[in-house]
Chain A
Amino acid sequence: MIRFKDVSKQYSTKDGGLTAVNDVNIEINDGEIFGIVGYSGAGKSTLVRMLDGLEAPSTGEIDIDGTDIAKLNGSALRKQRQKIGMIFQHFNLLWSRTVIDNVALPLEIAKVPKAKRVQRAEELIKLVGLEGREHSYPSELSGGQKQRVGIARALANEPTILISDEATSALDPDTTNEVLELLLKINKEMNLTILLITHEMHAIAKTCDKVAVMDSGRVVESGTVFEVFRHPQQQVTKNFVSEEFTTQKGDTTMTLEELVKKYPEGQLIRLVFHGPQAELPIVSDVIKRYPDLTISIISGAIHQTQEGALGSLDLQFVGDETKINDALEYLKKMRVGTEVIHHE
């Protein structure tokens, strides 16, 4: 159990104080994959650095399984750090060491005897699917392979927590998916708590159980990924969610204004539905029930999240205002989330 309680962090700069993290309260349960999403400068990295004791909070308390991290120092802190594995955007591997020596490094630091180090490192290399590359140097590996080494290294000391700090941000989409799948596998096999820091909503949707959205040092919204995706409350969250939906559409990455310009008539409505509803013929139902309405499909996307499929569909409704409202009422009754994007 990780708990951030009223955590704030201020820096003093030449231009006065800077609040990087502002009154953050988060609870992360054991075995959970918890996402923290936010644009750069939102305070995500400061938050995880504090979790690892690399920085101390200005006020508040960070506790892991009942231990207040800020109160630890010296060898107790170093011991605690061994229980947390970390992977990074730029991998941070030692170029001077081979794959196996990189993986064994945390074990060397923990003073594990040589024979055991080698054995454990070999197991981990197998786990992340890099057999045969043990004696390669990082410069001989691709980005995805390097991150696999990073993951193996992070797991060497059998940590209870794995922090992924933008670990997929430097990777291409396919490799990102591979790495995320590996994280999911590790989470299940080792019952590891994973804290996923990212600015990519895609990574959150694919792996996380819960998510906290950060903006200017604050957690502005949090909850299960499913809920946050379905009913984003804050503007930042909406941006992230719609960014995710639009990136999946690929060719039609239109802004709201462009959409409105292109479909000036009637109302533009976004439907959000999940799991069981996605399998019902809801749209065809609406069309049959309200034959006076002209309904065109503009775009749509489906996401696989940890709790099931989550879909979004942008529709254009043209017709009588009251009929449109009736149709929206009907959709609500069917428990489909609706959002009027544009009203004539």
Chain B
Amino acid sequence: MSNTTGLKSYFQFHNVDWSAMMSATWETIWMTLLSMVAVVIFGIILGLILYETRSKSGWGFKVINWVVGLLVNIFRSIPYIILIILLLPVSKTLVGTIIGPKAALPSLIVSAAPFYARMVESYFREVDSGVIEAVESMGATTWGVITKVLLPESKPALIAGATVTTISLIGYTAMAGAIGAGGLGNLVYQEGFQAYNNTVTLVGTVIICLFVFVVQFVGDRFVKWTDKRTL
């Protein structure tokens, strides 16, 4: 076991357990994608609630706006590594375990959904108010305005925001991995850090980077494809 600390230690590829690397990669990917889907759904719902209750009169709307806004701000400001520990009992109740990729899902969603919700709210506010009024003047209901104007007209922004959120989710999964959620974060922590296997660290890093690049690329393509403002 020479070369455990020098630069050469990065390139001891025979020390890499590729099947473990493979399964850790899959864990990271599905943790990210599954939480992304949930974050997008909850984020859009929360963003819509924030947007729709924002400028309405009536104390009912004001209370909803205040409560949702407060929750969003609280969960947005808790550092993820603390949030995951804070939510361990919740994970235990919801998914029955505090170890493995499944256990990380609740905290991943709770931390990223408020972040995305704030973005969604600002995207909705950027939709041309003249267009909203035009559609209202056609006799559209609030729901009609949401489905025919707000969502389609902010689609590229929603996708761009989801891309950014997904990339930060990848970062969170690695953190979650360090305390037992599995995935590449877990593998690199156990093998790379605790067993001094720097090659595993390097390979894990490269895979995570590739994953981030792919997400960014796909996101950009979708944004371009849905944005019909400039052709």
Q: Residues on A close to B: CB < 8 A?
A: 52, 54, 77-82, 84, 86, 88, 90, 92-97, 105-106, 108-110, 137-140, 157
CA of A108 to CA of B136, assembled, Å: 13
Taking A96-B152, A106-B139 as known contacts, 11 extra A-B pairs with beta carbons closer than 8 A to each other, sorted by chain A number, are A81-B137, A82-B138, A82-B139, A86-B137, A92-B134, A96-B153, A96-B226, A96-B228, A106-B138, A109-B138, A109-B140
Q: Is the CB of B137 within 8 A of A84?
A: yes
Q: Is the CB of A81 within 8 A of B139?
A: yes
Within the complex, what minimum Cβ distance (angstroms) separates A79 from chain B?
Answer: 6
29 pairs of residues in contact across A and B, judged by CB atoms under 8 Å: A54-B136, A78-B139, A78-B140, A78-B141, A80-B139, A81-B136, A81-B137, A81-B139, A82-B139, A84-B137, A86-B137, A90-B130, A92-B128, A92-B133, A93-B131, A94-B131, A94-B149, A95-B228, A96-B152, A96-B155, A97-B152, A105-B148, A109-B139, A109-B140, A109-B148, A110-B139, A138-B228, A139-B229, A140-B231
CA of A162 to CA of B149, assembled, Å: 22
Q: Residues on B close to A: CB < 8 A?
A: 128, 130-131, 133-141, 144, 148-149, 152-153, 155, 226, 228-231
CA of A210 to CA of B140, assembled, Å: 32
Q: For B141, give the chain A residue with the smallest CB separation.
A: A78
CA of A77 to CA of B136, assembled, Å: 11
CA of A27 to CA of B140, assembled, Å: 28
Q: For A98, give the chain B residue with the smallest CB separation.
A: B228
> Which residues on B sit within 8 Å (CB–CB) of A86?
134, 137
CA of A96 to CA of B147, assembled, Å: 12
Contacts A94-B153, A95-B228, A96-B228; A88 near B140 (Cβ below 8 A): no
Q: Is the CB of B131 within 8 A of A54?
A: no
Q: Is the CB of A54 within 8 A of B231?
A: no
> Which residues on A sit within 8 Å (CB–CB) of B134?
86, 88, 92
CA of A338 to CA of B220, assembled, Å: 68
Partner of A109 from the list B130, B135, B231 (CB cut-off 8 Å) is B135
Within the complex, what minimum Cβ distance (angstroms) separates B130 from chain A?
Answer: 4
> Which residues on B sit within 8 Å (CB–CB) of A96?
152-153, 155, 226, 228
Within the complex, what minimum Cβ distance (angstroms) separates A4 from chain B?
Answer: 18
Within the complex, what minimum Cβ distance (angstroms) separates B20 from chain A?
Answer: 46
CA of A54 to CA of B144, assembled, Å: 16
> Which residues on B sit within 8 Å (CB–CB) of A106?
138-139
Within the complex, what minimum Cβ distance (angstroms) separates B159 from chain A?
Answer: 12
Q: Is the CB of B231 within 8 A of A139?
A: yes
> Which residues on B sit within 8 Å (CB–CB) of A88?
130, 134
> Which residues on B sit within 8 Å (CB–CB) of A140?
231
Q: For A137, give the chain B residue with the smallest CB separation.
A: B228
Q: For B138, give the chain A residue with the smallest CB separation.
A: A106
> Which residues on A sit within 8 Å (CB–CB) of B139?
77-82, 106, 109-110, 157
Q: Is the CB of B153 within 8 A of A81?
A: no
